[in-house]
Amino acid sequence: MNTIEKKEGTPLLSIYFTAGYPTLDSTITIASKLEEAGADFLEIGFPYSDPVADGPVIQHSSEVALANGMTVEKLFDQLVDLRKHVSIPVFLMGYFNPVLQFGVERFCEDCKNVGVNGVIIPDLPMDEYEELYKETFEKNSIANIFIVTPQTSEERIRKIDSLSRSFIYLLSSNATTGKTLDVGDNTAAYFKRIQDLQLENPLIVGFGISDKPTFQKASKHTAGAIIGTAFVKRLKEPDYLAQIPAFIASIKD
């Protein structure tokens, strides 16, 4: 059930943005523009009041999105026609409490109904997922994406690999979002160490990827990388939609 395809030679580029930012109704427009510009898959964030894994830029986008009236319910309303506009894989990313209040089962069903491929919930731990929610996710063919950090033990990585159904979110360093990737030898050695584990699921690097050099560095030993903060920053510009093709081109070409 791999929803993203590893491509030989050309690393995958994924873009993260927060639903409801900069305006309540910008979600689908941004998503289709990103596909047009050449993004390989997308992560759409649903905002939360207390995003502990995020740095200031994504925190700010979440605050604005909430002030704009974004909710999980509203997001699924907006995504009803997702598959008319967007054909690349789409993942939802956010914190557990809004999912819990919406209802985990209803959340998975709605993901399936609108054509979302998977979800990334950083504060839903592996053990709780496995015990309480795995069945619901799998019944609806929704991939739950797990995070691996430089401190994650090999034993735990193997367990994560066995529970993963799409890709593994490889954190470039132990950090919140929006820090700069350390392009030194330690980071490369860490990516190589994980690559050498020869896991079933492709590795996609996130956190700290902002431009072509960091993207290339991150994807050398992996299937690709995710850009979040560097893209969300650009959504402040009045002509942000017009800038999307050039932004993607600056990383991929």
Partner 1 sequence: MSIYQVNEKGYYGPFGGAYIPEMLYPNVKELREEYLKIIEEESFQAEFNQLLSDYVGRPSPLYHAKRLSEKYGTTIYLKREDLNHTGAHKINNTIGQILLAQRLGKKRIIAETGAGQHGVATATVCALKGIQCAVYMGEVDIQRQAPNVARMKMMGAEVIPATSGSKTLKDATNEALRDWINNPVDTHYIIGSVVGPHPYPDMVARFQSIISEETKKQLLAKTGKENPDMVLACVGGGSNAAGMFYHYLDEESVQLYAVEAAGHGVDSGESAATTALGKEGVLHGSRSILMQTADGQVIEPYSISAGLDYPGIGPQHAWLFKSGRGNYVSVTDDEAMQAGLELTRLEGIIPAIESAHALAYLEKIPFKGDETVVVCLSGRGDKDLDNYMKYFDF
**List 86, 92, 111, 124, residue binding partner 1 (CB under 8 A):** 124
- At its nearest, how many Å lie between partner 1 and the CB of residue 241? 27
Q: Are 91 and 43 in contact (CB under 8 A)?
A: yes
CB nearer partner 1, residue 73 or residue 135: 73
Q: Specify whether the CB–CB gap between 93 and 45 falls below 8 A.
A: yes
CA angle (12 as vertex; 217, 90 as ends), nearest 5: 135
**Known catalytic residue: 54?**
yes
Query: Amino acid letter at 30?
Result: I
Beta strand extents in the chain (DSSP E only)? 12-18, 41-45, 90-93, 118-120, 143-145, 147-148, 168-171, 203-206, 224-227
Q: Please identify which residue in 77, 80, 81, 100 interacts with partner 1, judged by CB under 8 A.
A: 100
Where in 179-208 is the site for partner 1 (CB under 8 A)?
A: 179
Which residue among 7, 36, 84, 97 contacts partner 1 (CB under 8 A)? 97
User: Counting contacts by CB under 8 A, is residue 15 touching partner 1?
Assistant: no
Nearer to partner 1, 34 or 168 (CB): 168
From residue 128, how far is each of 28, 131, 178 by CA, in Å?
32, 5, 28
Instruction: Report how far residue 154's alpha carbon sits from residue 148's, in angstroms, rounded to the nearest whole number.
Output: 10
> Is 77 an interacting residue with respect to partner 1 (CB under 8 A)?
no
Q: Which residues bind partner 1 (CB under 8 A)?
A: 48-53, 55-56, 59, 63, 66, 71-73, 95-102, 122-125, 128, 146-149, 151-152, 156, 171, 174-176, 179
